[in-house]
Amino acid sequence: MDLGIAGRKAIVCASSRGLGRACARALAEAGCEVTLNGRDPKKLEAAAAEIRNITGAKIVTVAADVSTAEGQAALLAACPQPDILVNNNSGPPMRDFRELTRAQMIDGVIANMVVAVELIQKVIDPMAQRHFGRIVNITSGSVKMPLAGLDLSSGARAGLTAFLAGVARTVAEKNVTINNLLPGAFDTDRLRGVLSKTAEQKGKSITVVAADRIATIPARRFGDPAEFGAACAFLCSAQAGYITGQNLLIDGGTFNGAF
């Protein structure tokens, strides 16, 4: 399918690896000019080189922490008028909520809620004026099915979801959409980190812990990041203009519910 976004300019936050990288690649494959972002310059440039080689797309890199005002300014200096914004940021590490300090809670809310809102504030009106905008927020399946130990991540991302639910309806008539992608267990560095932590706590091997986790997924496997990237690219497509304010759960059927 031609997604109708060739030539569009996209910003994908935290895209040097994992699900962000998969989204960036899918948008590049659709013909977008993509601005990649990450905090590690070497990993960022490696990701950019790979995506350029595979897709031939124009790829710009911004090594910065988008949780800071300086990082956001650098991102928007590199891509002043994005047509597409994919918000993404790593979540807090797994930790018992009793251990969380106030500073850690504030940092988690800033990283997984406030930053996305700030970036949307900066790009949404120009998108509305151009009558095209696609905003996709990578949140988490834990928004619908919270996991103990990831309470801060779940809470901050749920807050972002509720915050933007009303905002999405205010710009729909301008062909600007805001949607959320809720990943379940995808084969990423973050998942491997969680499995490693669980294995350490339970005194089991990572192989056993991974098998136990897979057994809870009806699809009986972890997700491929490329699948996630394809879903993101579709939500950014010209054909997705009638989809807004939605939460697309991509978890292999883990969440056992009809709604």
Q: Are 213 and 207 in contact (CB under 8 A)?
A: no
Residue 1 located in a structural domain = no
Order of strands, sheet of 247-250, starting from the edge strand that comes earlier in the sequence: 59-63, 33-38, 9-12, 84-87, 133-138, 176-183, 247-250
Domain range for residue 197?
Answer: 187-222
Same domain? For 203 and 143 the reply is no
Per-residue pLDDT, averaged over 178-206, amounts to: 91
Residue range 56-92, pLDDT digits in tens: 999 999 999 999 999 999 999 999 999 999 999 988 8
Residue 181 located in a structural domain = yes
CATH at 43: 3.40.50.720
Same domain? For 104 and 133 the reply is yes
Same domain? For 123 and 76 the reply is yes
Same domain? For 159 and 193 the reply is no
Same domain? For 86 and 22 the reply is yes
Same domain? For 155 and 180 the reply is yes
Residue 167 located in a structural domain = yes
Residue 259 located in a structural domain = no
Q: Which residues pair with 60 in a beta bridge?
A: 35
Nearest to 33 by CA among 81, 89, 93: 81
Q: Which helix (H) or strand (E) holds 179?
A: strand 176-183
The mean pLDDT value of the chain amounts to 95
Same domain? For 83 and 204 the reply is no
Same domain? For 45 and 106 the reply is yes
Distance CA 7, CA 163 (A): 30
Same domain? For 171 and 134 the reply is yes
Number of domains forming the structure of the chain: 2
Mode of pairing for the β-strands spanning 247-250 and 176-183: parallel
Per-residue pLDDT, averaged over 221-236, amounts to: 98
- With a threshold of 0.85, does the pTM exceed it? yes
Q: Which two tokens stand for residue 74?
A: 């650098």
Residue range 94-117, pLDDT digits in tens: 889 999 999 999 999 999 999 999
Same domain? For 193 and 229 the reply is no
Q: What is the pLDDT of residue 30?
A: 98
Same domain? For 135 and 166 the reply is yes
Distance CA 253, CA 37 (A): 31
Q: What is the pLDDT of residue 147?
A: 84
Q: Does pLDDT of 119 surpass 90? A: yes
Same domain? For 211 and 128 the reply is no
